[in-house]
Amino acid sequence: MSLRFRPHAAVWAATAGERAAVDVVMRTRDRPRFLARACRGLAAQTFRPIHAIVVNDGGDLDAVRAIVDRELAGSGVTSEIVHLATAVGAAAAINPGVAAGRRKYFVIHDDDNTWDPAFLAETTAVLDSPDGLAYGAALSHGDQIVEEVTATGIRTIEARPYWRLPAVSLFHVLSQYDNPLINGLLCRRALLDAIGPFDDRLLTNDWEFIARVLIAGEIAVVPKVLAFWHVRTGVGPGDPDANATQSLGAQYPVDRTVHFNQLLRDEIAAGRIGFGLLAHLSSGEIGLARQLVRLQASVDALAGRLDALAAPRASPLQRFLHRLGLRRLPPSP
């Protein structure tokens, strides 16, 4: 324990006596089936108290209010709706929801993602433990759920392991090689005082926020699959059923690169080394590693073809004699 990086342990300790309550920030816009499912998932959590902050990003306010009231009725989950009359997009809709909260912990839970019923109980228990003062956030393992939206509902096609590592690597997060799920990350509200809010200029600001959390200190890992990232088949940019990554499409790597460039410009102008340089270097290293893996696969395939060409082959006469039982064929390549 003494070897752990604990730069903000005193800050976390100052909130140790606070009741463990959670603000769940949920962004939505005119996706009633997803919103209803997400709210049912909140009601099914074994942890209390939960306060749902539903950010309605330019959608039908009455419809959102009706769904939230219906699905959370009698569950003990309190709620409020932050209504944005004009849609600002998923990235810019996070901070109004986070700012509306006042509880010890907060987590981002988009309307199309889900949790295991034990998610909040498991992650709050880690941060509330004596060892939890070493961490600003707790992260569970997560899976990707591939699903299809039909006329009658939402059908699960398959579940795929997504993020199941024993620890969170800053290097990998900066390079976007192993991205944890934002809906699997329970954060201390005091963390915002240390690192600031989400960067609403960046379309991929959930990834950038996780990177800043890691720069500030370690993230505790709960080695159980408790968070689920849902993707739909047959959807892309502009489709209302697309998730955030599918909506970005080809803009995702462009947005990331533009952001990296601006960070690096700011650091060069300030004469310092920081996030921008680290992100560029780690991204480059991972890119090189991927190229080496592809090159090795090509070399292995070529070696296999060369071995096949060099192997002895049966001549027509040998095959004829073999059929007569007079000669054995050479081994097959």
Tokens 């199941």 belong to 164
Coil, helix or strand at residue 101: coil
Closest alpha carbon to 111 in 17, 187, 41: 41
Q: Which amino acid is at 179?
A: N
Across the range 187-191, mean pLDDT stands at: 94
Are 281 and 170 contacting, i.e. CB atoms less than 8 angstroms apart?
no
Phi/psi-derived region of residue 65, left when phi > 0, alpha when psi is between -120 and 50, beta in every other case: alpha
CA angle 17, 22, 226 (to 5 degrees): 115
For 246-281, write each residue's pLDDT tens digit: 665 566 677 777 777 777 788 788 777 666 666 656
Would you kindly state where each structural domain of the chain is located, as residue ranges? Answer: 9-248, 250-333
Residue pair 174/277 in contact (Cβ under 8 Å)? The answer is: no
CATH superfamily of 9-248: Spore Coat Polysaccharide Biosynthesis Protein SpsA; Chain A (3.90.550.10)
Tokens of 207: 């990834």
How do residues 203-237 score in pLDDT, each as one tens digit?
A: 778 888 998 899 888 999 999 999 999 999 877 66
pLDDT at residue 331 is higher than 50: yes
The pLDDT of residue 224 is 97
CB atoms within 10 A of CB 268: 12
pLDDT category of residue 290 using cuts at 50, 70 and 90: low
Output the DSSP codes for 192-235.
HHHH-S--TT-TTHHHHHHHHHHHHSEEEEEEEEEEEEEEETT-
Residue-level pLDDT at 2? 35
Q: Taking residues 287-302, what's their average pLDDT? A: 64
Higher pLDDT among residues 126 and 254, named by residue: 126
Q: What is the pLDDT of residues 170-179, one digit of tens each?
A: 877 877 656 7
d(CA 231, CA 271): 42
Straight-line distance from the first to the last Cα atom of the chain, in angstroms, rounded to the nearest whole number: 57
Distance CA 274, CA 254 (A): 21
Residue 27 to residue 284: CA distance in whole angstroms: 33
User: For residues 24 and 12, which has the higher predicted lDDT (pLDDT)?
Assistant: 24
Q: How far, CA to CA in Å, does 293 sit from each of 287, 289, 290, 298?
A: 10, 6, 5, 9
State the angle between helix axes of 275-310 and 251-270 in degrees (0 to 180), rounded to the nearest 10. 130
pLDDT value, residue 128: 94
Percent of the chain predicted with pLDDT > 70 = 74
DSSP 8: T
